[in-house]
Chain A
Amino acid sequence: MEAGYNFAYLDEATKRMIRRAILKAVAIPGHQIPFGAREMPLPYGWGTGGIQVTASIIGPADTLKVIDQGADDTTNAISIRRFFARVADVATTERTEDASIIQTRHRIPEAPLREDQILVYQVPMPEPLFRLEPRIAETKRMHALADYGLMHTKLYEDIARLGRIGTAYNYPVMVNERYLMSPSPIPAFDNPKMDRMPALQLFGAGREKRIYAVPPYTPVRSLDFEDHPFRAIRAPHACTLCNSTASYLDEVVTDDQGGRVYVCSDTDFCRTEQERAA
């Protein structure tokens, strides 16, 4: 471990403060808890909420995986992994099944997570109602009273205009049938994975200074209408590399003639599938 830093970079008082917020968040699933966010010396454009949560829960025995849009090998994912290897001396991995903590932005791994794993999301905007109701005090009141008619009105408008619910990312969910929650901008495809997940899910928003959580095995339901049920959508193709027809795909443009292929967004899943087939 590099000298001159406290373990995992943050000082102990800050980590205790963040852990208290995490405990409150776990006690009230889906409810946003304010915390005193700190600066982190990390790439601009990623946001630090999730990293502060990771720094507060990580221990020397942990194995950390970091994914950005499903990939372990992006610049951001690599630099965050290196950062924790340096300031906490923890092992890192690209294998979902080997990780005890998975720090993510924009995806949930395809491999089912277990009770002994924690998934930490980086969240840019924690408030699911913010586009609909700009007054913060009013959104707080809506949460306090579970008054979510406005969110359904937005979904109604989608169907009226598009014939279907047009929200492909950040699709709003009800946690434990009580709090409306933003799942951070994961694809709606990933929403069903949140439901009764055995792993603890923690969400950190640095700029907005909020932490929230979904404890293991908590019901998470995507909002919908009886006659327009929620559907997890993926591109109707097989992965060009591993042939999976079940994973979430990224579209990759291959030339300037409009050629394109579809590949798994989860790089670890794709490699595992390819190894299995080989």
Chain B
Amino acid sequence: MNALLEAQGLSLRFGRVRALDDVAIAIWPGEVLAVVGESGSGKSTLLRVLSGQQRPEAGIIRFDGTDIHEAGEAALRRLSRTDWGFVHQNPRDGLRMAISAGGNIGERLMSNGARHYGDIRAQAKDWLARVEIDPARIDELPRNFSGGMQQRLQIARTLVTRPRLVFMDEPTGGLDVSVQAKLLDMLRALARDLSLAIIIVTHDIAAARLLAHRIVVMRHGQVVEEGLTDRVLDDPQHPYTQLLVSSVLAA
């Protein structure tokens, strides 16, 4: 089997900060990959670069074997609204707050050519139900929703076109602990049911353990360790990973 997304030699500096320093990473179809590491280690930068939102200074990113920057911006944008999805930490960055829940879910369908109002609405209702929002609230604005609901709406809006790869940057970051747990369960079920590949950035080792098949540990813009989730968490090799895991156990 070939990697779905594969990157090599990614480097990017901000002034003197090496946000990415010769990073290589790959993800396979249906796989959930967690990216962990302390604040400032380059996780969000990696996600932006992998999803084509920012160009690296060096390195190459291949999706389905093709360089994502090769075919130009139009092709990259098409990829972003078809095969890819992006879930932001703050739902306000991923939702249109002035547009109804149904419109938020429908936008991606319409961007991909859907022109039947009744179908779009039926799909929006279906997705609201899937993320456990009452479909009767389809015409409400996201601002009436709780933080957890907004995040679930963002996920519905992203998944409605059945992307094969979803980038998530701390999707549970701003939420209460109990709400986080519910969202993680939901993500796990969706990933399994839709055979999604997910690259998820998280601070939360427990979330990584619950969701991820594999873990990548970043520090100072470098990947210092990677491997199967249980192996990395139960038998960390790199001193930094040992510190990260033990600090969680201690907490």
Q: Which positions in A face B, CB cutoff 8 Å?
A: 141, 144-145, 147-150, 152-153, 156-157, 159-161, 224-228
Contact = CB atoms under 8 A, between A and B. Distances in A.
B219 to A, nearest CB: 35
Nearest to B101: A160
A148 to B, nearest CB: 8
B117 A161 contact: no
B103 A227 contact: no
Contacts of B121: 160
7 contacts: A147-B81, A152-B107, A156-B120, A160-B100, A160-B102, A160-B103, A160-B138
B118 interface: yes
A160 B120 CA distance: 11
B74 A157 contact: no
B97 interface: no
Contacts of A227: 116-118
B77 interface: yes
A130 to B, nearest CB: 14
Contacts of A161: 100, 139
Among A147, A160, A224, the most chain B Cβ lie within 10 Å of the Cβ of A160
A152 B99 CA distance: 12
B111 interface: yes
Contacts of B78: 145
Given A147-B111, A149-B107, A150-B107, A225 B99 contact: no
B230 interface: no
B108 interface: yes
Given A153-B99, A153-B107, A156-B102, A225 B116 contact: yes
Contact of B73 (A145, A150, A157, A224): A145
A152 B139 contact: no
Contacts of B16: none
Given A145-B73, A147-B81, A227-B117, 19 more contacts: A145-B74, A148-B111, A149-B107, A149-B108, A152-B107, A153-B96, A153-B103, A153-B107, A156-B110, A157-B99, A159-B117, A160-B138, A160-B139, A161-B100, A224-B115, A225-B116, A226-B115, A226-B117, A227-B118
Interface in B86-142: 96, 99-100, 102-103, 106-108, 110-112, 115-118, 120-121, 138-139
Contacts of B115: 152, 224-226
Nearest to B112: A149
A157 B124 CA distance: 13
B53 to A, nearest CB: 13
B5 to A, nearest CB: 22
A215 B74 CA distance: 27
Among B96, B110, B115, the most chain A Cβ lie within 10 Å of the Cβ of B110
Contacts of B112: 149
Contacts of B74: 144-145
Contacts of B107: 149-150, 152-153
Interface string B130-164: 00000000110000000000000000000000000
Nearest to B76: A145
A157 B118 contact: no
